[in-house]
Chain A
Amino acid sequence: GAGVSQSPSNKVTEKGKDVELRCDPISGHTALYWYRQSLGQGLEFLIYFQGNSAPDKSGLPSDRFSAERTGGSVSTLTIQRTQQEDSAVYLCASSSRGFGGYTFGSGTRLTVV
C-alpha cells in the first residue's frame, strides 16, 4: 500500500486479556519497527525486524510482549495478560535498509480498563 497501515485504530480491553495489534508496512520496505508512545511522552523503542535477520527485541518491557513478522511483511504485536500500564499508542514504522527516515502508521490506541 501507499503507507503504513495499522489496525485496529483503537482498542479497549479488560485487564488480563490478550491483545493483538497489526501492522502492514510499505511494500518493499525491509525494516519494520514497533514503538510505544505514552501520554505526553516520547517514543519508546520496542522491537525491530530487518529482513530475515533475528529481530532486535531489546526494547520489549516484559515477557508479556512479543511480536512476529510473517513473510517479511505484515507484523503482529501481541500483549498477553494486559495491565493498565500497557495503555498507550502503539506505533509501527517501516523503512528501506540504510535510510534513517521511517514512515509511521497512525498507531493503535490501546486502553486497558
Chain B
Amino acid sequence: GQQLNQSPQSMFIQEGEDVSMNCTSSSIFNTWLWYKQDPGEGPVLLIALYKAGELTSNGRLTAQFGITRKDSFLNISASIPSDVGIYFCAGQELGGSEKLVFGKGTKLTVNP
C-alpha cells in the first residue's frame, strides 16, 4: 500500500534548538496528522490538519497542511529532553476510506 515519504529519518539536536520534519505524498490527502510515539507506547495524536494551507499550533509545535495537499511539515521550537521519541506523519487520501497512511517516522534525540 501507499506510504508517505517522511524525512529526516533521524535527528540529533541540542536542547533548545528548533526542529523541522516533513512528509510528502504522490497523491492528494484531505487530512494530515502528526503523532508522537514514546517507547513501549502507541502513537499519540499531536496535531490534526483538515484544510489546505492550514497552519496549526499546539504549544511549541506548529504544523502546516501544504497548499498542494501533498505535503505537511511539523516544527518543534525550543526543544526539551521530553521531546525525544518517534514522530509520525499520517494522512487520509482524498476519496479514500477513513484508514490512515503513515510515514516511517522521524526519530528525535535531544541532548541536554
Indicate which residue in B43, B100, B105 contacts A100 across the interface (CB closer than 8 Å): B100
Complex Cα distance A105/B98, Å? 18
Interface residues in B14-30 by Cβ distance below 8 A to A read: none
Complex Cα distance A93/B105, Å? 18
CB neighbours of A33 from chain B (8 A): 99-100
Q: Is the CB of A42 within 8 A of B1?
A: no
Interface size in chain A (residues, C-beta < 8 A): 27
CB neighbours of A101 from chain B (8 A): 33, 45, 48
Q: Is the CB of A102 within 8 A of B45?
A: yes
User: Beyond A59-B1, A100-B92, is A43–B102 a contact (Cβ under 8 Å)?
Assistant: yes
Complex Cα distance A64/B112, Å? 46
CB neighbours of A104 from chain B (8 A): 42-44
Complex Cα distance A43/B90, Å? 9
Q: Is the CB of A42 within 8 A of B40?
A: no
Closest to B9 in A: A40
Q: Is the CB of B100 within 8 A of A102?
A: yes
B101 at the interface (CB under 8 A from A): yes
Q: 0/1 per residue, A46-76, Cβ < 8 Å to B? A: 0010100000101100000000000000000
Q: Is the CB of A48 within 8 A of B97?
A: yes
User: Beyond A48-B99, A106-B40, is A100–B50 a contact (Cβ under 8 Å)?
Assistant: yes
Q: 0/1 per residue, A19-35, Cβ < 8 Å to B? A: 00000000000010101
Which residues of A does B touch, CB under 8 Å? 4, 31, 33, 35, 41-45, 48, 50, 56, 58-59, 91, 93, 95, 97-98, 100-107
